[in-house]
Structure 1
């Protein structure tokens, strides 16, 4: 089966020239075939010949490329938890910051001799984000290929890169296929180490491949959870069923 890349450059009509230093190279990266191979690790597996599940260790870009042949358009749901580009000590190099002179050269602010081409005070913060965007772009392109027409994708992120992530996902998946920006609370209370406001939540961006193929999205509560947690009744029980009490906020 050959990979169909006819939609590889699909761009939402509402996207107006979102670009960064290195974007053209990131797009070309999608088209470079992988030279990697998957090797079974039977000694580290449980019931290798019977299991329908896989854990794959390796560069996720190469793995996504390998999946294009057998899983193109076959995946129902994808969840990605990428590095947040915060400078933290992760498996990935989580501080995607180009050297300042390299960034100036890529953006046309330095000539080959290393001299500034103009005196305009241009924004330099892009160098903190450009490499991260270039890392994410081909992975999201390849993930789009893998999804079924009624497939969905969830991507975790925090305040540091949500703006850029939203733009490239709009470009790849189409702004019309955006479903929601889910807020999840990662902690309660205050924090004495914060200089300004305490950050207590992060985000999960939620997109469909083809939103017109998606039915109602719901997660039914199972009977065990109802019996365990939903133990209260009121005058609306016959219409709404039991309810539970939750703590809205701890002191902080």
Structure 2
């Protein structure tokens, strides 16, 4: 995807790669280290344990393996969508999640830019879903691969042919579809929560087709942080703990100093 971005870029980057990439890659390295300490089994290991113990709704109902695996994949996809939606609606979760949105450019490394606290919460949530339903380990493994691959695809700064984008987004989230979610305009930030299957946003009426200002003209990031600071590693990790304006709640990236059309005053 990084090579694809160089060959067919969708937008001119505001801060570029350089230090942004160093920070985003350092964040994912931190996430990996923290996750290995707190959740050494990860989701697949937990699924193997649940399967051996016969735990979960699918096991109790005697659901055939192929059906349990298929339903499990779809359930995990919805669970991640729901978690993402909640991260924009619950103030505490938004404080953590907004580090992801603070990136002033969106490219393949933005898909890796999540606060360690969010990674731990996400893993705990996925583990709970896996255990509750008894999702087969194979389905969990496939899902985790798709989760990471799809995230890097739909965050990538790539230009797909319009016809291809239209066809793909009937089933999966495309870069143009997800880019809308990274707009500083609140109505656009509060949309397109999906990471893989596009059905959830259509089903729950959170789908926005295109950004108001177009993909070339839209502003990426958080309105209150349109500075070089989000490219800093320590600044990014400290963001959830910073004091914020009480008027800026979850999903609200438009503080008093920003005009209603989403442009910084």
- Normalised TM-score (structure 1): 0.27
- Normalised TM-score (structure 2): 0.26
More helix by share: 2
Highest relative contact order (Cα 8 Å, sep 6+), 1 or 2?
Answer: 2
